[in-house]
Structure 1
Amino acid sequence: MSEAQARAPGMLTRIAYGIGGAAGGVKNNGFDYVLLLFYSQVLGLPGLWVGAAIWIALLVDAVSDPIVGYWSDNLRSKMGRRHPFLYAAMVPVAIAYFFVWNPPSGLEGTNLFFWLLTVTIIVRVGYTLFEVPSLSLAAELSQDYDARTSLMSFRYFFAWVGGLSVQIILFLFLLQPTENDVQGFFYLPGWHAYGLLGASIIFICIGITAAGTHHRIPHLQSPPPQRSLTLGKIFSEIWETLSNKSFRALFLASLFGFLATGISATLNQYINGFFWNFTSDQIGLLTFAIYISAIMALILAPLAGRIWGKKKAAIIIGLMAFTLAPAPVFARQFGLLPPNGTPELFYIILFVTVFDVALIIAYQMLAAAMITDIVEESELSTGRRSEGTFFAGITFVRKLAQGIGVVTASLILAVATLQPGIRPADASEEAVRSLGWGYAGTLLTVWMLMLLCISFYRISRADHERNLQALNARNGS
């Protein structure tokens, strides 16, 4: 291990690395929170069709994750293993994301379905070229236990800030409410401008991460020695790498966690618009307040990791977050909250959301940092650095689980009989109550399963230090 690898990266490098998260925040915010709303409620494509297109695109994209991960672990180039992928992703992702929100006028039915399917596949596969190698950099920029938590904290901070910013601009400035469209959901020029803004941010943020970490290339890990590779050998190495017990615990935890994310994100605007009957201004202000959550999490996650260690901190914070999140919905179902349309209700939801989202973001930061510490344990047993393979495994399961989450959310909407094109004011009380039960009950169950799985992760701070010492001794450092 070189001195540069042992030394924690400077603040500018951490910020540059973290800004790349904003590209994913913008993409994920659009796809997870408003894509179903835009294509189903606004453009009139049946919700199950939209869910099917999203899920098929996720399945196609998921196949690319292990390919890109293994490829970036073994790539030999003048720019190292990761950076060629970062630079290659910039243009295609940005262009395709623009066209997601700017479909040709007049498309409907089957033609609109295939347009949605095609552009989402291009965005997702193109973004994988950036996401997997850039996430892998966290384990290479530093081998320090706490520095890795800091890197992942910056990554998730900017991801949330980037996603929040475009969503706030969408609801407060781009969508124009009318008397018959209080939320402004049906104002098409606003959605078109949203696509241009998002595409521009994605292009710039990927470029900043690639250029801002470029100077570290000479100090990053080298690929394994050249060897004769067959398809069987490649699959054997991937399987050997992913057989790590701590990785299996995180893999299953991620499966349930991202399933919950897919459900929550897809139904978020339905809960705000249909369940709480918030206006577009209230939704924008509620979203704006989550900036506070992101700042709180940026402080909380590294602090909790230093005090308790990553695993214990993730479990403690996760238990607090995931019991608090569905509490307001359950309270409403039992008549324990003020009526819709009252200022008191909005302030209660605002207060709960700020603290709950801070805990959720902190949990995500810690869980992501836990992946980086598996790298050295795996290297001791396999002799290979496999950051890309590990992160590809997590992004692979995220896409599968979120796709299932989107379909599950679509089923919840179908059971609640919320038809495409219906406006919040026209939804029946029975439909809204069914939406609430499906949303809160499903999330609470899935989140608890996630925390159960993460309890089987076994790498502590002391284990990480022993792994580094063993590697240094074996390598003669």
Structure 2
Amino acid sequence: MTETATPISAPPIKYATKLLYGVGSMAYGVKDVAFRAYLLWYYNYVIGADAAMVSLAILVALVFDAISDPIVGQFSDSLRTKWGRRHPLMYMSAIPAAASFFFLWHPPEALDGWGLFAYLAVLSSAVRTCITFYEIPSSALAPELSSDYDDRTSIASYRYFFGYLGGYGMSILALAVFLAPTAEYPIGQLNPVGYWTFGLVGSVLMFGTVMISTAGTHHRIKYLRKLPPPQRRNPLETFMLMRRTFSNKAFLAILGFGLLKYTAIGMAAALSLYFGTLFWGFDNFEMAIMSAEPLVGAVLALIFAPVIAKRLGKRNAAFWLAIAAIFLGTLPFILRLNGLFYADDDPRVLPTLFGILALYSACAISSAILVHAMIGDVIDASALKTGRRAEGLFYAANSFMQKCVTGFGLMAAGILLTIVDLPERAQPGEVDPASVDLLATLYIPSIAVLYIAGALFLHFYRIDRASHEANLAALKARDDAKRPAP
């Protein structure tokens, strides 16, 4: 029995629905920026745990969470309720995700050593697994909201925009408000109370945005595919079906790209506070301003990603945008290490760095938007070949890859910090500049090689506008042939 039934005729998706759908990504953005940029710093530099131990705990949590992704994806694809396959899981994720995020930033004071390691590993696993019950079904919902080649790029653009708004908006609040300098903590990034507030506000945002997004797309349930009950399969049959599903060469190209790219992203994000505080010498206010540059990039990507995709096609646009991103992302570090950038006390440092990195973010986010939209096109191609709709499984596999390799990026960041031997809890003026320069010197080639090598995998992605439209026509013809004559 195939599972490719065409949904009833649906009106075009409105911009309001795209906005509400995208709002839910704020929850993922809050969690993502917290794990990438703040968690390692908080447990290592503020609480005083060993950097390698903290990195290992986060890696354990990421791998544990990643294992749950295909389980949730498979379950979501197989679910049959009056609210469809996705919305029940999205609704139920809100409270546990918010609660576990809150407690992650409130560890008991008496914990240290392996006790603190266990607490961090368990709570990190809980946060990431609970948010998976929203993120995977929500991602799988995107290609069902529209099958149009360009509309999918637009939907992905809103998703990424709000993801960055949630994550970096929260980062701006943290640096400008929660971690503002006080008499007791003139370096606000070392104030533990600020991180407790971060956990509270983040948990409230998680709950609210998940509920708004889920309720905001609820009216589209009646237009989603009405699929027959899934066939019962033993574990071996399920594994073979997943293997057949993931044998799609276009999807393997996307996974290859993401495998290396997200390792680089995980490393860059984990070191962002270290570079901002120690390499560029920014204070809290300047760090807050710099935290806004990804938002500027997200706005530019929201506007330009669909335009560039129409001109070059999704694959070519994603490739060249990734190459441009890594050039812009490493350029300021290369210039500074070679004495070609402005000195720390020059007022042009902040606006120049902000402008370069905003363009970097625009390119990187646009590339990610296009790859996310490309997965929807892969799903249609796979459905034509296998006779099965597997949106949840495809997005779960992509999420699995991202989480695992982002964890390796975090681990790599911890290794670099160990190599350069930064002193624990040292104030910025107490850190040897040579150690910070060595950190940047090791960082540049690491992420450049990962990013460029990953982009080369996109050469093997061969779905363009024409082939996608041909796949949709073939799917429609097959479904029409199976309908009984009137």
For 2:230 and 2:390, locate their aligned partners in 1 and report how far apart those are by CA, in whole Å. Answer: 15
Equivalent residue number for residue 484 of structure 2:
none
1:342 to 343, 346, 357: 346
State the shift of 1:121 in Å.
0.7
Pair 1:125 & 2:129 matched:
yes
Equivalent residue number for residue 3 of structure 2:
none
Equivalent residue number for residue 98 of structure 1:
102
Q: Is the 8 A contact 1:278 1:341 kept in 2?
A: no
Equivalent residue number for residue 373 of structure 1:
377
2:66 to 62, 65, 77: 62
1:276 to 273, 280, 292: 280
Equivalent residue number for residue 230 of structure 1:
234
1:258 to 257, 262, 273: 262
Pair 1:201 & 2:167 matched:
no
Higher deviation after alignment, 377-386 or 110-119: 110-119
2:426 to 401, 422, 441: 422
Equivalent residue number for residue 247 of structure 1:
251
SS class of match (1:325): helix
TM-score w.r.t. length of structure 1: 0.97
For 1:419 and 1:469, locate their aligned partners in 2 and report how far apart those are by CA, in whole Å. Answer: 62
SS class of match (1:13): helix
Q: Is the 8 A contact 2:73 2:137 kept in 1?
A: yes
Task: Tell me the matched-pair count.
Answer: 476
Q: 1:181 to 1:329 in 2, by over 3 A?
A: farther
For 1:289 and 1:381, locate their aligned partners in 2 and report how far apart those are by CA, in whole Å. Answer: 42
Identity rate of aligned residues, in percent? 36
For 1:438 and 1:196, locate their aligned partners in 2 and report how far apart those are by CA, in whole Å. Answer: 36
Equivalent residue number for residue 30 of structure 1:
34
For 1:3 and 1:147, locate their aligned partners in 2 and report how far apart those are by CA, in whole Å. Answer: 18
State the shift of 1:336 in Å.
0.7
Residues 184-211 of structure 1: CA deviation (Å, up to 9, x unaligned) = 1221211111100000000011101110
The amino acid across from 1:392 in the alignment is A
Q: Is the 8 A contact 2:33 2:167 kept in 1?
A: yes
For 1:384 and 1:418, locate their aligned partners in 2 and report how far apart those are by CA, in whole Å. Answer: 52
Q: 1:441 to 1:99 in 2, by over 3 A?
A: same
For 1:364 and 1:164, locate their aligned partners in 2 and report how far apart those are by CA, in whole Å. Answer: 17
TM-score w.r.t. length of structure 2: 0.95
For 2:431 and 2:86, locate their aligned partners in 1 and report how far apart those are by CA, in whole Å. Answer: 49
SS class of match (2:96): helix
State the shift of 1:224 in Å.
4.8
State the shift of 1:360 in Å.
1.1
Residues 326-348 of structure 1: CA deviation (Å, up to 9, x unaligned) = 01101111111122232122222
For 1:226 and 1:354, locate their aligned partners in 2 and report how far apart those are by CA, in whole Å. Answer: 46
Pair 1:295 & 2:299 matched:
yes
State the shift of 1:180 in Å.
8.2
Pair 1:185 & 2:198 matched:
no
For 2:184 and 2:100, locate their aligned partners in 1 and report how far apart those are by CA, in whole Å. Answer: 32
5 Å-filtered alignment, 1:395-406, equals 395-406=399-410
For 2:337 and 2:9, locate their aligned partners in 1 and report how far apart those are by CA, in whole Å. Answer: 56
The amino acid across from 2:403 in the alignment is K
For 2:275 and 2:478, locate their aligned partners in 1 and report how far apart those are by CA, in whole Å. Answer: 55
The amino acid across from 1:450 in the alignment is G
Equivalent residue number for residue 52 of structure 1:
56
Residues 250-305 of structure 1: CA deviation (Å, up to 9, x unaligned) = 01111111101110110011111111111111010111243322211100111111
State the shift of 1:181 in Å.
4.9
For 2:364 and 2:428, locate their aligned partners in 1 and report how far apart those are by CA, in whole Å. Answer: 28
For 1:179 and 1:79, locate their aligned partners in 2 and report how far apart those are by CA, in whole Å. Answer: 53
For 2:345 and 2:417, locate their aligned partners in 1 and report how far apart those are by CA, in whole Å. Answer: 23
SS class of match (2:315): helix
Q: Is the 8 A contact 1:136 1:388 kept in 2?
A: yes
Equivalent residue number for residue 82 of structure 2:
78
Pair 1:168 & 2:190 matched:
no
Gaps of 5+ in 2: 1-5, 482-486
The amino acid across from 1:171 in the alignment is L
5 Å-filtered alignment, 1:310-459, equals 310-459=314-463
Q: Is the 8 A contact 1:255 1:398 kept in 2?
A: yes
The amino acid across from 1:226 in the alignment is P
For 2:171 and 2:470, locate their aligned partners in 1 and report how far apart those are by CA, in whole Å. Answer: 44
For 1:360 and 1:86, locate their aligned partners in 2 and report how far apart those are by CA, in whole Å. Answer: 28
SS class of match (1:59): helix
State the shift of 1:438 in Å.
1.6
For 1:129 and 1:411, locate their aligned partners in 2 and report how far apart those are by CA, in whole Å. Answer: 31
Pair 1:476 & 2:480 matched:
yes
Q: Is the 8 A contact 2:319 2:458 kept in 1?
A: yes
RMSD: 1.4
For 1:211 and 1:254, locate their aligned partners in 2 and report how far apart those are by CA, in whole Å. Answer: 31
